[in-house]
Chains A and B, each alone.
Chain A
Amino acid sequence: AQTVTQSQPEMSVQEAETVTLSCTYDTSESDYYLFWYKQPPSRQMILVIRQEAYKQQNATENRFSVNFQKAAKSFSLKISDSQLGDAAMYFCASIETNSKLTFGKGITLSVRP
């Protein structure tokens, strides 16, 4: 069974600074995907970034990048040049082929002006 662990419930970052959100996971599969989702107060889940397990290169989307350490089963999200609009809850998630999406408990990120 998949498990996803986000051990920090809250983090805070100064506007324009960089912050890293941690996530570890466990799976017995070799083929899987990892995700970071953002959930603002509107509750709509927004895909931030996706990583395919078979790809060694870390995914990047503008100010968002991941540090994917497959052997350590670690998948952290780095947000550069933090903006006030980045304040939200962030969920790490994993999905195995033909299976369900498993979420971590989430982390609330606040951005200080």
Chain B
Amino acid sequence: DVKVTQSSRYLVKRTGEKVFLECVQDMDHENMFWYRQDPGLGLRLIYFSYDVKMKEKGDIPEGYSVSREKKERFSLILESASTNQTSMYLCASRVEEKLFFGSGTQLSVL
């Protein structure tokens, strides 16, 4: 079974902190994605990567950056966390038309 693992299920951070959300997949997939999920807004794409060191902005990249140094790991970085970044963050990887999702990280920024 393909596994997409997000390092934390719940995370509480303070305003201004630098936050790293980690996502690891074990199937050598080239495409990986970070989404943010908010009530009434669905899932919105923050960034995606189609290969190591390659990245593209999604629909809402402001306030975020990403890192893909190795194929299996795609990190989402909040350089200076703000309260409006309190949300559920979902990672996914893709091969052809098949998508595989992590279990999500609920981030609270106080």
Distance in Å: Cβ of A68 to nearest Cβ of chain B: 15
For B, the interface residue count at a CB cutoff of 8 angstroms equals 19
C-beta contact mask, A54-69 vs B, less than 8 Å → 1, else 0? Answer: 0000000000000000
In the complex, are the beta carbons of A106 and B104 less than 8 A apart?
Answer: no
Given contacts A45-B90, A105-B42, A106-B42, contact A100 B58 (CB under 8 A): yes
The contact size tier of chain A is 20 to 34
Interface status of A42 (Cβ within 8 A of chain B):
yes
Interface status of B52 (Cβ within 8 A of chain A):
no
Distance in Å: Cβ of B23 to nearest Cβ of chain A: 14
Distance in Å: Cβ of B100 to nearest Cβ of chain A: 9
Chain B residue nearest to A108 (CB atoms) is B39
Of B13-21, B69-77, B91-99, the segment with at least 4 beta carbons within 8 Å of chain A is: B91-99
Identify the B interface with A (CB < 8 A).
Answer: 33, 35, 40-45, 48, 58, 88, 90, 92, 94, 97, 99, 101, 103-104
28 sampled A-B residue pairs with Cβ under 8 A: A6-B42, A33-B97, A35-B99, A42-B103, A43-B88, A43-B90, A43-B103, A43-B104, A44-B104, A45-B90, A45-B99, A47-B99, A50-B97, A52-B97, A91-B42, A91-B43, A95-B97, A100-B48, A101-B45, A101-B92, A103-B35, A103-B42, A103-B43, A103-B44, A104-B42, A105-B40, A105-B42, A106-B42
